[in-house]
Amino acid sequence: MRKKLVYLFGNGKAAGSAGMRDILGGKGANLAEMCRIGLAVPPGFTITTAACVYYLRHGRMVPGLKREVAKGLKFIEKVMGRRFGDPENPLLVSVRSGARASMPGMMDTVLNIGLNDITVEGLARRTNNRRFALDAYRRLIQMFGDVVLKTGREEFEKIWRDVEQDFSRGEIAEGTLEEVVAKFKAIVRDRTQREFPQDPNEQLWLAIEAVFKSWENPRAKEYRRIYSIPDDWGTAVNVQAMVFGNRGATSATGVVFTRDPASGERQLYGEYLANAQGEDIVAGLRTPQPIARLKEDYPEVYQELAKALSRLERHYREMMDVEWTVEEGRLWILQCRSGKRTPRAAVKIATDMVRERLITKAEALSRIGPEILNTLLHKTIAPEAKYTVAARGIPASPGAAKGELVLFSHRAVELTEQGKKVILVRHQTSADDVKGMAKAEGILTAAGGTTSHAAVVARGMGKPAVVGCEAIQVDYERGVIRIAGQELKEGDVLTINGSTGEVIIGAVEMVEPELSGEAIALLEWADDFRKLRVRANADTPEDAQRARHFGAEGIGLCRTEHMFFAQDRVGVMQEMILALDAEGRKKALDKLLPMQREDFVAIFRVMAGLPVTIRTLDPPLHEFLPTDEEQMKLLAEKLGVTFERVLNTVKRLEEVNPMLGFRGCRLGIIHPEITAMQARAIFEAACQVKKEGLKVFPEVMIPLVSDARELAHERRLVEEVAAAVFKEVGVKVAYRVGTMIEVPRAALIADEVAEVADFFSFGTNDLTQLTFAFSRDDYGKFFPDYKRLGVMSEDPFETLDIKGVGGLLQMAVRLGRKVNPRLKIGICGEHGGDPRTIEFCHKLGIDYVSCSPYRLPIARLVAAQSALGKKVERSSD
């Protein structure tokens, strides 16, 4: 059977419905739906997207369309009691585009089709308003000329500009509008070598064809590319009886939202213009009135409109954006769609609608995209701000920041102490920069990717960061950076947007973050639905506090090396590394023990009742030593050793591939005194906190294991220390020993590893690095080009590579659980805060995801959405 090409709506009935967006487009589907629920919609019909696709493919109208459109016109004529082309009582129609996905303003529309030299006189007599009729005719010629005949708009606008003021004041001289019409027709004649078409049917078909073609205009194509809308969808075309808001004092037109789209408050929000058409609001010549004025000026219309809007909202169970017109006191609804809103309003509306019993909690959760929560937690660039982007890098930690440029960590500290706000700009950051990073508003680096030091630390701190911004050059010697052909020095102001990767010279206006009571309620509902638990990556008591505030159910990764990088510790650490023998090392470690123990005591107190996973030392030792001679000399002096000894140690520790080198559990195996000190600090702290009456659940995690024997070796040592401490202190604490799965081999032999592990935690940063053989710190050198060339579209350090790395996770879960069905499994790489990865983890059936405290709200939401079966959008959408 041939497919239906035209769907009628009007008079309280419709062939289509809201669920038919694919073939009727959003506008057509909603027009049909509004008719069905009895709203006053001008009658019309929708030509399907399939008819458009046929036209674009074959360059001609699909067979059967003419007949169906003719039938559609008859229907409109019957409902309106007017005839298309009737010299006395002409029907006028609009022809509007309307695709499946909203593409505001991208495609074409023609209004007032059906007017010509004869019908315009009929309209003038019928409405008893010649001024209105001639204005309608000149609008048609102008729009038709521009959209259909491609005359451009400028000449029409030039002529109209001279008349406009007088016209809107109602002071236009006799004969002026006739002159305008004549001039407009002359423009068409001059530009196209033909007369403006007088046959209403010809007008209609040319307009339909033009709207079909407008799917392919460059503007629409670009929009589709940006929003990933498929090119083969095509647009539907809505042909609808015209109603007029410009027929005098009892006519008006307006746009209204059923709730405030900025705050989410439950009150009508919008504006209207008396005696005007929709495009007059857009043109901005007259200032529209707020909708509240309608209540005063036209109370009956207001009541009727409010009733229709409330009906629409209850029917769609959604905040709606509605276009309406009043023609001589009669209200018509012209269009409705779900209203665009700010993130704050989105959360408020969703939670309010649950309380109003319009939607369920599950529906409310499914309406909030992860990025909405993300913007709520960080400062963002004000939506109305205007700025020029000077360079773009990788968006590594969301939120926007502005401040004075500084190139050195110590300058960041000094300047912030003077009350200044700074952006730390480095080629790349290292442990030395952490102090400055902590003080800076945001971080910008020229090198590195989403798991570079700068990115990981910034996310942990909840600070905006843009990394791998190759377009900037950092010249430390001269204390300047080069960006977009300019040289900037310390003190020059920069703005960065860590959500988009944009770098802007100068200050841009921002808006403050907040988690409203509604957002908190929404997250609590999420907790009721989700199966995945959420933990935080936290290295300090302050991080832990923040983690609890955002709902962490434990710490999934405490990177102990971050404690050693602290200013007062790094010296003792260096002393340990420079020690000549185990004895010397032990002496330094004895100094570190109480410091480390105090850290753990504080963290255990904050996390009372919840598990805390502490990882033993992971980075290669050279990271703790200086790289330049000046610093080495200073260190030698400080420790009372020779410069040569420092230099030799640095040289000895140098590696060609440090990421594949002497790090992770290899360190603890070769230097057992390090693991022993850390284990002692953990268990002494745990016993102390337990004695205080608090519950502690320490979990000791061994990094970079590639063979079960490595883990067994470390486990034995940890158990020995635990037993010794418990005996000394006279208190026992239940604990677990487990491992990171971050080396592909560990995933491949996970059954063997599970024999000696109480838990697995996927270190997906290293696992991605080692699976792809992409250096975490250097892949920024080629990856942007990979994207540009279409070799790869997604950054595997940002969202988990489900096919490859995800396959390893799947295998490790299967093998591990085969050996130990109660094996606890989590993920603690940076992917733990990425929506699509969280969805994958839910499907994988692991126990928890661990992410930076600031990502916790998103993790809670997405875990709930995954449990509810909602497809999770990409995090950067």
Give the catalytic positions in this structure. 453, 828
Spell out the long-range contacts of 562-568 with Cβ–Cβ below 8 A and sequence spacing 24 or more: 562/434, 563/539, 563/595, 563/596, 563/599, 564/592, 564/617, 564/624, 565/431, 565/434, 565/624, 567/435, 568/595
561: contact with Mg ion by CB under 5 A: no
Beta bridge partners of 330: 327
Chain centroid, CA 82 distance in Å: 49
Q: Which helix (H) or strand (E) holds 522?
A: helix 517-529
- The least distance separating ligand PEP from the CB of residue 529, rounded to whole angstroms, comes to 27
- The least distance separating Mg ion from the CB of residue 766, rounded to whole angstroms, comes to 4
623: contact with Mg ion by CB under 5 A: no
Q: Are 509 and 388 in contact (CB under 8 A)?
A: no
Q: Which of ligand PEP, Mg ion, none sits in contact with 254, Cβ below 5 to 8 A by type? A: none
Q: Which of Mg ion, ligand PEP, none sits in contact with 828, Cβ below 5 to 8 A by type? A: ligand PEP
Cβ-proximal residues to 92 (8 Å cutoff; 6+ apart), any chain: 112, 113, 114, 115, 123, 136, 241, 242
Q: Which of ligand PEP, Mg ion, none sits in contact with 764, Cβ below 5 to 8 A by type? A: ligand PEP
Nearer to ligand PEP, 334 or 454 (CB): 454
Burial of 145 (0-12, 13-18, 19+ CB in 10 A): buried
Q: Which of Mg ion, ligand PEP, none sits in contact with 313, Cβ below 5 to 8 A by type? A: none
Q: How many CB atoms lie within 10 A of CB 283?
A: 12
Q: What is the DSSP letter of 830?
A: G
> Which residues in the 708-747 window bind Mg ion by CB under 5 A?
742
619: contact with Mg ion by CB under 5 A: no
Interatomic CA distance for residues 706 and 750, integer angstroms: 10
- The least distance separating ligand PEP from the CB of residue 654, rounded to whole angstroms, comes to 20
Closest CA to 647 of 684, 616, 679, 622: 622
Nearer to ligand PEP, 39 or 614 (CB): 614
Nearer to Mg ion, 597 or 615 (CB): 615
- The least distance separating Mg ion from the CB of residue 660, rounded to whole angstroms, comes to 12
Nearer to ligand PEP, 253 or 451 (CB): 451
Closest CA to 699 of 839, 785, 600: 600
Cβ-proximal residues to 423 (8 Å cutoff; 6+ apart), any chain: 401, 402, 403, 404, 405, 406, 440, 441, 442, 443, 444, 494, 496
Give residues in contact with ligand PEP (CB under 6 A): 557, 559, 618, 742, 763-766, 828-829
Interatomic CA distance for residues 574 and 639, integer angstroms: 9
Interatomic CA distance for residues 846 and 551, integer angstroms: 19
- The least distance separating Mg ion from the CB of residue 219, rounded to whole angstroms, comes to 46
- The least distance separating ligand PEP from the CB of residue 742, rounded to whole angstroms, comes to 5
830: contact with Mg ion by CB under 5 A: no
- Select from 44-52, 755-763, 770-778, 815-823 the region that touches Mg ion (CB under 5 A): 755-763
Q: Which of ligand PEP, Mg ion, none sits in contact with 559, Cβ below 5 to 8 A by type? A: ligand PEP
Chain centroid, CA 669 distance in Å: 44
Total residue length of the chain: 877
763: contact with Mg ion by CB under 5 A: yes
Nearer to ligand PEP, 684 or 766 (CB): 766
- The least distance separating ligand PEP from the CB of residue 664, rounded to whole angstroms, comes to 8
Q: Which of Mg ion, ligand PEP, none sits in contact with 109, Cβ below 5 to 8 A by type? A: none
Q: Are 499 and 380 in contact (CB under 8 A)?
A: yes
Nearer to ligand PEP, 146 or 618 (CB): 618
Q: Are 866 and 836 in contact (CB under 8 A)?
A: no
- The least distance separating ligand PEP from the CB of residue 827, rounded to whole angstroms, comes to 8
321: contact with Mg ion by CB under 5 A: no
766: contact with Mg ion by CB under 5 A: yes
- The least distance separating ligand PEP from the CB of residue 841, rounded to whole angstroms, comes to 14
Interatomic CA distance for residues 662 and 446, integer angstroms: 28
Interatomic CA distance for residues 79 and 92, integer angstroms: 13
Closest CA to 71 of 15, 109, 26, 148: 15
Interatomic CA distance for residues 239 and 95, integer angstroms: 5
Cβ-proximal residues to 137 (8 Å cutoff; 6+ apart), any chain: 112, 115, 120, 181
Nearer to Mg ion, 684 or 766 (CB): 766
Nearer to Mg ion, 142 or 451 (CB): 451
Nearer to ligand PEP, 244 or 760 (CB): 760
468: contact with Mg ion by CB under 5 A: no
- Residues within the interface to Mg ion (CB under 5 A): 742, 763, 766
